[in-house]
Structure 1
């Protein structure tokens, strides 16, 4: 097992706040992707959680996804047609800057450990898109926040990703059953079900043991389940990890 700290939790509030805060170490907030909550809501979550509990959050979809994405059905922000044309694909403009400021404000209220930028499969590593990514993160006022990048699709090869992550100081967000994380430092694992992104899935005991074996080295590991049985699987995996700790 890893010598680094292991945090285990879920993507979203799949059960009551009290249960999740009491049982797990970390939670990735999903509401911020669709429509950021009020600052007072984020502040309340921080107050309800134990001091050592870690929050992460997904960046607002206005940054990563274009307005044609079906996820915009859950957007409540009143944007004009002109503003909607400026969204997504890491464009750097007044709309995406506003989206980042709102995301960062929630992150600060949560005292978040990281912000995740997850792109759709339709977002390919073209020269134009790579230039947009570099411009966006180059202009970003991130403060001390860790920024996690999870691109989807086979087109994002290691050769394309490695210099991008290194130059922009991004953490590689991965499903470890799909690919190995690149770079050094924090391992940010998101478990989406199997085969890839089949969320209606329950991980077997053998798969959880395999996941535990993947966590070698001295880096910290943040393990977030994002499948339909996320709470049960996170609970089972936490038991496996704790048994290992007790026996070491």
Structure 2
């Protein structure tokens, strides 16, 4: 049965009673879902002790999909934090050790930018990246349509199989060339990842806008769209032993509602979301010490 989860655990108000402290959110999140995408690792390599704390705050079967640091996927702009690629990869691999040792690292997600097109140079870079990551499970997500054009689609998928890349299948607006089609084909017999970004075509193209992060993923899937994905997931479950689905439509607070609805459609009996303005389970205010 597919695992359903969200991008991050801090942006979903309908999971937490009012007044929930950030330090308690991951534990509550893991009572709803069995997988999460760690997005903060894209912006900075996370300290090892922070990763270890997240491991300790979640049940034994819980899994993390950790997004690769932006310097590893060509997104970095401005002055690099690391002096060279060797130091960067060494720091990242050290960071994720607690999750690996606990058996909670499902995969590292490499999402490449819209300008990362299908060229000989980029294919060589993907080979080198996979070599650096060793035996760690790695998922690959493109944002340029050339990889799945008629000329390259079959070869792209075979390359991913040959180089041990897990296919991160996308649902996103079809805005050429900075998006990819939904290709329902697994490249790894053990795991396939699906990331649902929403279908806000106008918001998808506003990279230069000041509030682009707020509008890009502003979308709520309707019942028919979720039913289509229920059927898609059943199909993918026949191709991979595990399928993990990440809802990334966070901008309007729609991800958790869509995720739990899809879980219900799959017969997974999800935990009910917290009603708006609920204080159920809220921690009592801390008393000030006079001594």
TM (norm. structure 1) is 0.80
CA RMSD of superposed structures (Å): 2.3
Find the residue that maps to 2:168 and give its secondary structure.
strand
- Distance apart, 1:104 and its partner CA: 2.1
Judge which range, 109-118 or 152-161, deviates more.
152-161
Q: Which residue of 2 aligns with 1:174?
A: 169
What is the SS of the residue equivalent to 2:66? strand
| SS of the residue 1:155 aligns to | helix
CA distance in 2, matches of 1:6, 1:67: 33
From the superposition, tell whether residues 44 and 134 of structure 1 become closer, same or farther in structure 2 (CA, over 3 Å).
same
Gaps of 5+ in 1: 84-94
Contact 2:184 2:232 in 1 (8 A): no
**Structure exhibiting the larger radius of gyration computed from Cα positions:** 2
Q: 1:142 aligns with which of 126, 130, 134?
A: 134
Pick the aligned partner of 2:6 from 10, 24, 37. 10
Give 1:9 shift.
0.3
- Whole-Å Cα distance in 2 between the matches of residues 142 and 167 of structure 1? 14
- Aligned position for 1:159: 154
Q: Which residue does 2:22 correspond to in 1?
A: none
> How many angstroms apart in 2 are the aligned matches of 1:243 and 1:114?
23
The answer to whether structure 1 residue 235 and structure 2 residue 260 are counterparts is: yes
1:192-203 equivalences under 5 Å are: 192-195=197-200, 197=204, 198-203=216-221
| Conserved 8 A contact 2:171-2:197 | no
Within-5 A mapping of 1:65-144: 65-68=74-77, 78-79=81-82, 83=83, 95-111=84-100, 112-138=105-131, 140-143=132-135
Structure with greater proportional helix content: 1
CA distance, structure 2, for counterparts of residue 24 and residue 224 of structure 1:
10
* Structure 1 residues 159-216: Cα deviation after superposition (integer angstroms, max 9, x where no partner): 3412320221110111146312432422200000104654100111111111001012
Relative to structure 1, is the Cα distance of residues 53 and 166 closer, same or farther in structure 2, using a 3 angstrom cutoff? same
- Count of aligned pairs: 219
Secondary structure of residue in 1 paired with 2:96: helix
Structure 1, residues 105-125: CA drift from partner, whole Å, max 9, x if none? 232212311000000001111
